[in-house]
């Protein structure tokens, strides 16, 4: 139960956590070669730009079609930011950092309500040291905002239960509706499993909910009024597109398919703190009360993702109960091996990227030296003061994401190519390369499935068609079938993102290619050749 004493920093706790989040997450978000992925550079960043170009607000558009596979909240926020500051990586990714800060603040606030302000602060700092928050909290994606809305809603529910003031329940409803308009029903998972865990462990009495049933039903109706109309309007305006989007989402998620490999992803995003959580959960497995509620909350928030196709980032919300449990357990955790194991895995992962940068003369690796030494000192020896154990992982992850990763040069492109994107109509043929050309040039451009019938329009627009080298013969064939010629206009080579941030070698690169590149210290065997053409009459 909450402590009756209030530490002097309790009133400024949200400000402290928000400033610390900005300090470790903002550096490097402006780097075009920073960590990204197709969902960011070809969906989240391009959609608000196309909304601006076509003056779309209610329904987002992308590549000339309604973008309704996901709800619109993030795209509304993205367009607002771009309208105010202009389209740029900073204007887009600053939104991600703000939501990551909100998630950390909500974690601290929940910890304060369930235990005390010190536990809340420690939990927020544990969260800020998780690798997953540094990878996802720097990209304009759906998962961190969804978790932030849901965690904030749970905090508002805790305040409402304590103070019995309806405005807090209304705030929770608004936050849940905002989350629903960000990523649909999954937004209810984090807050919902938190409430169920508190009820299951009797930290919340079910009789309290019964006594407040009328006001709960009223706010449930308010939630429906806020969350559902957009989906109804989309269904009425674009019935076929809505049906296809729903069918595609159901098919891609592969519901009820057992996917235990997501547990490895859980360790990935929770690195290095997940090892401490496992040890602490085992040590306190017989505890009742709040530790049991937090462990149950964590398990319930992870369980659904074992039965559908998931990505690591979907589990970002599960880091909230994990961080709260660790914060509660740290004073009594007496074993050292989890620290050393977590430290070793973190050093192995970061060290591999730094070694890659050093071996190929890319620079960036010195960023990691001092943070790695600090992490070894804080986690590898005897117990240090808790401030060092909390600070070291956050500083290490920040140095890795802001210093080492951008130096690898993934998705780097020559300035003349960016200038082409500002001046010419660009079409992407069967792929998203050059990955960040739209946001760097300030124009969304289009991914287009080209056929022979499209060639006259491309020629009339004097459009440039970009593609990877392997697709050039197909483009030439399609142009020839229409009586046109695809004339090469330029090319460049780069490590290029293919899906996830760490898939940066060219498509089809083999183990032997990697070995020869390493031995010769020549990245040419791993780079992707990106070419562009103009469609002309022969």
| Segment among 182-186, 390-394, 482-486 with least mean pLDDT | 482-486
Q: Are 240 and 65 a contacting pair, CB within 8 Å? A: no
| pLDDT reading at 5 higher than 50 | no
Percent of the chain with pLDDT over 90: 78
**How buried is residue 489: exposed, middle or buried, by Cβ count under 10 Å (0-12/13-18/19+)?**
middle
Instruction: Give the pLDDT of residue 11.
Output: 67
- Burial level of 444, CB count in 10 A (0-12/13-18/19+)? buried
pLDDT at 25: 98
Burial profile 33-67: b = 16 or more Cβ within 10 angstroms, e = fewer: bbbbbbbbbbbbbbbbbbbbeeebeebbbbbeebb
Could you give the CA distance from residue 221 to residue 503 in angstroms, rounded to a whole number?
Answer: 45
pLDDT band at 231 (very low <50, low <70, confident <90, very high): very high
pLDDT band at 396 (very low <50, low <70, confident <90, very high): very high
- pLDDT for 100-134, tens place per residue? 999 999 999 999 999 999 999 999 999 999 999 99
pLDDT digits (tens, 9 = 90+) for 207-217: 888 889 999 99
Tokens coding 259: 């996917």
Look over the chain and give the mean of its residue pLDDT values, rounded to a whole number: 92
Higher pLDDT, 538 or 47: 47
Give yes or no for residue 382 having a pLDDT over 80: no
Q: What is the pLDDT of residues 397-443, one digit of tens each?
A: 999 999 999 999 999 999 999 999 999 999 998 878 898 999 999 99
SS3 236: helix
The answer to whether residue 150 scores a pLDDT higher than 50 is yes
Collapse the DSSP code of 355 into the 3-class scheme (helix H, G, I; strand E, B; otherwise coil) and give the result.
helix
List pLDDT tens digits, range 65-85: 999 999 999 999 999 999 999
Tokens matching residue 53: 């170009």
In the chain, the percentage of residues whose pLDDT exceeds 70 is 98
Beta strand pairing call for 528-536 and 464-468:
antiparallel
Residue 246, pLDDT score = 81
pLDDT surpasses 70 at 229: yes
Query: Would you state the pLDDT for residue 292?
Result: 96
pLDDT at 7: 52
Per residue in 482-534, pLDDT (tens digit) is 899 999 999 999 999 887 778 899 888 899 999 999 999 999 999 999 999 99
- Does residue 29 carry a pLDDT above 90? yes
Residue 221 phi/psi, 5-degree rounding, is: -65, -40
DSSP classification of residue 305 = G
Q: Inform me whether the pLDDT recorded for 267 exceeds 80.
A: yes
pLDDT in tens, 292-339: 999 999 999 999 999 888 889 999 999 999 999 999 999 888 788 999
Kindly report the length of the chain.
538
Q: What is the DSSP letter of 34?
A: S
Examine the pLDDT at 272 and tell me if it is beyond 70. Answer: yes
């Amino acid at each position: 139960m909450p402590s009756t004493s209030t530490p002097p920093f309790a009133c400024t706790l949200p400000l402290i956590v928000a400033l610390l989040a900005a300090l470790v997450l903002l550096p490097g978000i402006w780097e075009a070669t920073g960590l990204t992925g197709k969902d960011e550079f070809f969906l989240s960043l391009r959609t608000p730009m196309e909304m601006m170009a076509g003056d779309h607000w209610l329904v987002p558009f992308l590549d000339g079609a309604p973008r309704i596979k996901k709800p619109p909240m993030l795209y509304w926020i993205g367009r607002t930011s771009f309208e105010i500051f202009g389209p740029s990586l900073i204007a887009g990714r600053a939104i991600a950092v703000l939501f990551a800060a909100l998630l950390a603040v909500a974690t601290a606030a929940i910890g304060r309500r369930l235990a005390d302000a010190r536990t809340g602060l420690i939990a927020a700092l544990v969260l800020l040291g998780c690798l997953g928050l540094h990878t996802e909290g720097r990209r304009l994606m759906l998962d961190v905002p969804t978790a932030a809305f849901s965690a904030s809603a749970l905090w508002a529910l805790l305040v409402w239960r304590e103070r019995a003031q309806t405005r807090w329940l209304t705030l929770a409803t608004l936050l849940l509706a905002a989350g629903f308009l960000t990523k649909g029903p999954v937004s209810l998972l984090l807050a919902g499993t938190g409430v169920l865990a508190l009820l299951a462990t009797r930290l919340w009495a079910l009789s309290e909910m019964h006594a407040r049933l009328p006001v709960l039903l009223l706010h449930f109706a308010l939630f429906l009024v806020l969350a559902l109309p957009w989906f109804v309007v989309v269904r009425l305006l674009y019935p076929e597109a809505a049906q296809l989007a729903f069918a595609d989402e159901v098919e891609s998620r592969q519901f009820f398919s057992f996917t235990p490999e997501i547990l490895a992803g859980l360790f990935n995003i929770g690195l290095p703190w997940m090892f401490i959580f496992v040890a602490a959960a085992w040590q306190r497995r017989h505890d009742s009360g709040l530790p049991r509620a937090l462990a149950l909350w964590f398990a319930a928030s992870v369980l659904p993702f074992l039965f559908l196709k998931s990505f690591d980032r979907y589990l970002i919300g599960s880091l909230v109960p994990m961080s709260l449990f660790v914060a509660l357990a740290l004073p009594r955790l007496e074993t050292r091996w989890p620290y050393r194991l977590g430290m070793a895995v973190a050093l192995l992962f970061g060290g591999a990227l730094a070694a890659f940068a050093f071996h190929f003369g890319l620079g960036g690796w010195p960023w990691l030296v001092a943070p790695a030494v600090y992490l070894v000192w804080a986690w590898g020896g005897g117990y240090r003061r808790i401030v060092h154990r909390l600070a070291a992982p956050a500083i290490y992850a920040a140095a890795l994401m802001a210093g080492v990763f951008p130096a690898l040069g993934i998705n780097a492109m020559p300035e003349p190519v960016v200038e082409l994107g500002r001046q010419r109509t660009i079409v992407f043929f069967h792929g998203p390369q050059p990955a960040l050309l739209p946001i760097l040039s300030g124009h969304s451009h289009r991914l287009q499935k080209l056929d022979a019938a499209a060639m006259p329009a491309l020629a009339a627009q004097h459009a440039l068609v970009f593609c990877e080298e392997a697709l050039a013969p197909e483009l030439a064939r399609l142009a020839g079938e229409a009586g046109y010629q695809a004339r090469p206009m330029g090319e460049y080579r780069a490590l290029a993102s293919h899906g996830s941030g760490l898939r940066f070698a060219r498509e089809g690169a083999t183990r032997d290619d990697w070995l020869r590149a390493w031995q010769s210290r020549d990245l040419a065997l791993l780079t992707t050749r990106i070419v562009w053409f103009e469609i002309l009459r022969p």
